[in-house]
Structure 1
Amino acid sequence: IGTENRYIVGFTIHPNPTDTTTMIPHLQHLKEKLGRFPENIVADAGYGSEENYEYLEEKQLGNYVKYNKFHWEKRRKNRENPYLPEHLPYNKERDCFLCRNGKHLEHVGDRKYVTDAGYETRRDYYRCEDCGGCPYAGECKNSDKPKTIRISHRLNELKRKANENLCSEKGLELRSQRVVEVEQTFGRIKGCWSFRRFLLRGKEKVKIEWGLLSIAHNITKMALEG
């Protein structure tokens, strides 16, 4: 569902086990019904993917969507960990990383992936030139093989932009609203009204059932505010 001021402004039905692939079709549906996109998109880490970030950038929408490591990387032990790939100095001209021991992680190949929606992404692989005798090996890696990392430069760039937005004054405000917006809406339907299982079967019937619940929720909210 998409909400604004805790009114349901749009909904879509998906049989997907994860949220990642639902954002773009949901926003497209919302545009069809409302005639425009929302100005800002606020969502939890389940929706943070390269494909979704690219879409938000292409449509020039405010990106306040978390990614899976957003809170994890804020912890001090992770923020100060010199062995994490995102903390290794990168030489763009040579296309290599530099480890704590002064060794280069050279580019050794890449692999392309295509999502179910047809979005093509790439992951680059980098391997250390020589891990022999490294005093940091025990902390840096967990095998006898040379350290190898997998990187998506484009995803990292998009995540940096998302992080800047999320940590801005406006981002902090919108993030605090998200819990109130969506979770209270689901809370009424699932908690107060005890709706925890669809009574009908089939996507179209479920769509009707959820549509009626959405209308009921909006009418109830209008009545309580009036």
Structure 2
Amino acid sequence: KPNPFHHDNFHYNADEDYYVCPMGQHMRRIGTARSKTASGYRSESARYRAQNCKGCPLRCLCYKAKGDQRTIEVNHRLNEYKRKARELLTSEEGLKHRGRRCIEPEAVFGQMKFNMAYRRFRHFGKDKVTMDFAFFAIAFNIKKMCSKIAKQTKNGGNTPLFGLYMLLSRILHLENRIFWKNPRKSVA
């Protein structure tokens, strides 16, 4: 980030566990702050405080809070994750994958999010989210295949998958009829 007064741009001495502000003052660790998000995720941030900011010529640029000691909170675990992600993204293989990203998956994710309103997972937990997305992906691919076969059939072409298309269309039509006669509550 271009802001020299943001704590991400301060020099950090990992051996002695302190930050150095733009004026060269050491910011010592004063404790740990724990927080919990609405979804239940717990995070831990280290708190660092400068000795004295009174009379500092950069104080008005550095922070606007009352008091003579600037305090920052740093989540070291999050910073480590960001560092690893940055290394992977800027590696040779990461650059190759990022170059293909705009071509391959972006259009599909756009259709999923905008056209089919699939913006959130409906379950919690890694295995349940995997299952949720797998079912959605299967349904998405079947829908795509059916529309492709229908388009080929409409244009007069006979496809080897025409029988599969007819079977799927009967099943889906029957399923819709059953659902509308006996509506059930969703389990999600």
Which TM-score band (shorter chain)? 0.5 to 0.7
Name the residue aligned to 2:142.
215
Q: 166, 169, 177: which one pairs with 2:100? A: 177
CA spacing shift, 1:173–1:144, aligned 2, 3 Å:
same
CA spacing shift, 1:144–1:168, aligned 2, 3 Å:
same
Equivalent residues in 2 for 1:130-141, closer than 5 Å: 130-141=52-63
Q: CA deviation at 1:169?
A: 2.3
1:114-156 superposed Cα distances (whole Å, 9 cap, x missing partner):
5678765310111111000001111111223221111011211
Would you say 1:125 and 2:39 are equivalent positions?
no
1:70-91 superposed Cα distances (whole Å, 9 cap, x missing partner):
xxx3xxxx1xx32221221222
Q: RMSD between aligned alpha carbons?
A: 3.7
How many aligned residue pairs are there? Answer: 139
% identical equivalent positions: 33
1:156-208 superposed Cα distances (whole Å, 9 cap, x missing partner):
122112111112222122123223232211445678xxx4458xxx98xx987
1:19-45 superposed Cα distances (whole Å, 9 cap, x missing partner):
xxxxxxxxxxxxxxxxxxxxxxxxxxx
Alpha-carbon distance between aligned partners in 2 of 1:209 and 1:154, rounded to the nearest angstrom: 32
Relative contact order, higher structure (CA 8 A, sep 6+): 1
TM-score (norm 2): 0.58
- Give the secondary structure class of the aligned counterpart of 2:27: strand
CA spacing shift, 1:143–1:214, aligned 2, 3 Å:
same
Q: In 2, are the aligned partners of 1:189 and 1:217 still within 8 Å (CA)? A: no
Q: 77, 80, 102: which one pairs with 1:157? A: 80
TM-score (norm 1): 0.49
| Amino acid paired to 1:170 | E
Alignment gaps of 5+ in structure 1: 1-72
Alpha-carbon distance between aligned partners in 2 of 1:89 and 1:209, rounded to the nearest angstrom: 46
Larger radius of gyration: 2
